[in-house]
Amino acid sequence: MSTQIPTLRDGDITIRPVRLRDARALERELIENRSWLRKWEATNPVGPMSFDVRASIRHLQSNARAGLGLPFVIEHKGELAGQLNVSSMTYGSVSMATIGYWVSERFAGKGLTPTAVALATDHCFFTVGLHRMEICIRPENEPSLRVVEKLGFRYEGLRRRFIHINGDWRDHFCFALTVEEVPTGVLRRWRGGTVPPQNGFVPAEDREKAQHPIATG
C-alpha cells in the first residue's frame, strides 16, 4: 500500500517529504550536530554505520513507495531543521507505526519536535487510518521524554536492550497512543491544554531498572 506523503504546517513549523536534493543540507546538519546526535543514533550491530545520506534518502523513499513509512524533513521558517520518520507501518488487524526523529541543536527548545510529532501522528490517525502510534525513547534522553509528556503519549513499559544505539543494545521506554484517545487530534489537544498529565509518567521502579542494564557475556 503506497501512501502519499503530505506537507503539513503549524505556524512556523513544517514537515514535508524528504527529497534527494535535501542530501547536502541534511549531511551538513548531521556533521555539524555530530556530538549532539551521536548518543541517540541507531547503529548497525554487525558493521560500521553508513554516512551515505543520499542512499539513506533512497531507502526511505523506497519504503514509502511500499507503504511502509513516511519520511519527513522538519523545517522552521523554511530552514531545514531535522527529520521525522514514520516507520514500521502495518495495516489490517495491527494497524500501527512508530515515530523517530532528530532536530539540530540550534533549534532545540523552539517546539519543533512536539509539533512535528503531533502533525505526523494526526495524519497517520485521520488520513492514513492507522490505529496506534508508538515512540520508544532511551531513558537518558530527557528532551525526548519531555516531548511525549507534552503530547500525552501513554507510558507502556521498559523494553530491555531494544534498539542498537551508539554501538550497543540500549534499553528504551515505550510510549503509545491510539486514535480513540485523541478524537480531536494530538495537536489540538496539546494546544488546548487538555493533555492528561499522568500519561507520560514513568514509574520510579522502571527508572531504577533502567539504571542497571542487563549484564552480558
Whether the pLDDT of residue 23 is over 70: the answer is yes
The neighbouring-strand residues paired with 86 are: 70, 99
Mean pLDDT of the chain: 91
Tell me how far apart the alpha carbons of residues 15 and 130 are, in angstroms, rounded to a whole number.
19
pTM: 0.92
| Helix or strand run (H / E) with residue 84 | strand 79-90
Query: pLDDT (tens digit, 9 = 90+) per residue, 53-108?
Result: 999 999 999 999 999 999 999 999 999 999 999 999 999 999 999 999 999 999 98
The sign one gets for the Cα dihedral 156, 158, 163, 167 is: positive
Match 543520499 to its residue by C-alpha cell: 54
Query: pLDDT (tens digit, 9 = 90+) per residue, 180-205?
Result: 999 999 999 999 999 998 899 999 99
Model pLDDT, residue 40: 59
Three-state SS at 149: helix
Tell me how far apart the alpha carbons of residues 185 and 146 are, in angstroms, rounded to a whole number.
19
Model pLDDT, residue 212: 84
Tell me how far apart the alpha carbons of residues 39 and 140 are, in angstroms, rounded to a whole number.
10
Query: pLDDT (tens digit, 9 = 90+) per residue, 10-20?
Result: 999 999 999 99
Whether the pLDDT of residue 1 is over 60: the answer is no
Question: Quick one: DSSP state of residue 18?
Answer: -
Residues 6+ apart with CB under 8 A from 207: 139
Task: Please indicate whether residue 29 or residue 35 has the higher confidence score (pLDDT).
Answer: 29
Q: How many CB atoms lie within 10 A of CB 178?
A: 14
- List the domain boundaries for the chain: 8-210
Tell me how far apart the alpha carbons of residues 4 and 128 are, in angstroms, rounded to a whole number.
9
CATH code given to domain 8-210: 3.40.630.30
